């Protein structure tokens, strides 16, 4: 596999350049997760970085390089898409399939 040196911006890895394995197209993964062990022996903390283009080329707009930006809030949530891919219905539960209704008297 091929690797590419990618700079990191923000967070604890700010300013570092690390080799990252690239995919078959030569692009690094969209999210880069770095587990940091807890000194007290608890669960490790996971630092999350998102891929961003450094600068587009002048003629075609193709990125010349990549960098990873720190996401302090963690990985983005993956909400399930529903047909017809619009806003949820009013009164719908945020994570469930049944609407919220008042209790029967």
Q: Do the Cβ atoms of 22 and 1 come closer than 8 Å?
A: yes
Q: CA dist 101 to 87, 93, 94, 95, 96, Å? A: 19, 10, 13, 15, 13
What does the pLDDT profile of the chain (105 residues) look like in tens digits? 789 899 999 988 999 999 999 988 888 999 999 888 888 988 988 899 999 988 877 888 777 788 999 998 877 777 666 666 566 666 655 555 555 555 666
Three-state SS for 24? coil
Task: Give the list of residues 6+ apart from residue 5 with CB closer than 8 angstroms, or none.
Answer: 17, 18, 19, 20
Backbone phi, then psi, for 52, in 5-degree steps?
-140, 145
The model scores a pTM over 0.75:
no
């Amino acid at each position: 596999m091929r690797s590419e040196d990618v700079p990191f911006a923000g967070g604890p890895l700010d300013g570092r350049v690390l080799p990252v394995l690239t995919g078959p197209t030569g692009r690094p993964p969209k999210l880069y997760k770095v587990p940091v062990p807890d000194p007290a022996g608890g669960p490790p903390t996971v630092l999350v970085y998102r891929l961003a283009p450094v600068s587009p080329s002048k003629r075609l707009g193709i990125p010349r390089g990549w960098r990873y930006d720190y996401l302090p809030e963690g990985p983005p949530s993956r909400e399930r898409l529903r047909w017809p891919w619009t806003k949820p219905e009013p009164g719908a539960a945020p994570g469930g399939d049944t609407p919220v209704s008042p209790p029967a008297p």
